[in-house]
Amino acid sequence: MDSAMGQAPGTYAEIEDGTVTPSPEYLLRLARVLRLSEADYEAVHSQLYECAAAQSLAEDVPLLPDPAWQEVIENQSGMAYLSDRRWDVRMCSPAFAGMFPGGRPPKNAMEWMILDESVRDTVLIDWETAWAPFALTQFRAVRLAFPDDAELQRMHERILGDERARRIYEDPSAVQVHRAGEDIRPMRHAMHGVGHVRLFMAQPDNAPGARFVTLRFQKSDGAWT
């Protein structure tokens, strides 16, 4: 279950035995993965938090974050982008666009990370150990939370059809959980060359699965951008 949810080993066991109380966001994702009924989900939510759930289990949840996020992105001096639950890049800062040749960011961040052969071989350094397990753990969790999303299913089929990605995707030991500020991964920046990037992620309240990502790039001389 921890692998399916993209969590550290032991997380589900701690929640199951009452050692840890899950966040409402985790409970929502877990309820979808376990296919709980709306009534059972509401009962568990009320028991844990003593209030009604703010969001239904129904899959017709908003795809796009609030447009007000555009102002947040525009005020970022560094690299930042906002994607929907399918990893389509909806907004990005000029600095983020500058990561890519010609200043053109990819349409879909996940497919760029996982399925673009040139990216795997030249941009995301140590792709098989530093990048693919991290990205595919995220993808697995979101796909299980939204099993009826046709676009996520299409991406799932592409991953299964790609030998390099499939090998890691189907490996139960290849799970990497995001830890804010601790994720420092090697990459080749289009403008700054080889260095390391530090990732920070947050989720907009009104669009489950969407993500606001900021990145700091450390150049080979140690300077951060």
Say if residue 60's pLDDT is above 70.
no
What are residue 179's phi and psi, to 5 degrees? -125, 110
Q: Which residue has the higher pLDDT, 224 or 119?
A: 119
Which among 217, 223, 172, 179 has a CA at the least distance from the CA of 200?
179
pLDDT tens digits, 130-139: 999 999 999 9
**Do 150 and 172 contact (CB within 8 A), yes or no?**
no
- Among the residue ranges 54-63, 84-93, 177-186, the one predicted with the least confidence is 54-63
CATH C-level class of 69-219: alpha beta
Q: Percent of the chain, pLDDT > 70?
A: 93
Which residues are bridge partners to 196 per DSSP? 186, 218
Max avg pLDDT among 52-61, 111-120, 132-141: 111-120
Give start-end residues of each CATH 3.30.450.180 domain in the chain: 69-219
Say if residue 155's pLDDT is above 70.
yes
Q: Which residue has the higher pLDDT, 14 or 145?
A: 14
pLDDT tens digits, 137-152: 999 888 887 888 889 9
Say if residue 62's pLDDT is above 80.
no
pLDDT the model gives residue 73: 93
**Position 19 confidence tier, pLDDT thresholds 50, 70, 90:** confident
Neighbours of 67 (CB within 10 A): 9
The contacts found for 162-165 with CB under 8 angstroms, 24 or more apart, are: 162/114, 162/115, 164/120, 164/128, 164/132, 165/114, 165/115, 165/132, 165/136
Q: Which residue has the higher pLDDT, 65 or 137?
A: 137
For 146, counting Cβ atoms within 10 Å of its Cβ (0-12 exposed, 13-18 middle, 19+ buried), the class is buried
Distance CA 154, CA 109 (A): 15
The single-letter DSSP state of residue 208 is T
Name the H helices within the chain.
2-5, 11-16, 24-33, 38-49, 69-74, 94-97, 109-115, 117-118, 132-145, 150-160, 163-169
Structure tokens at 83: 């994607």
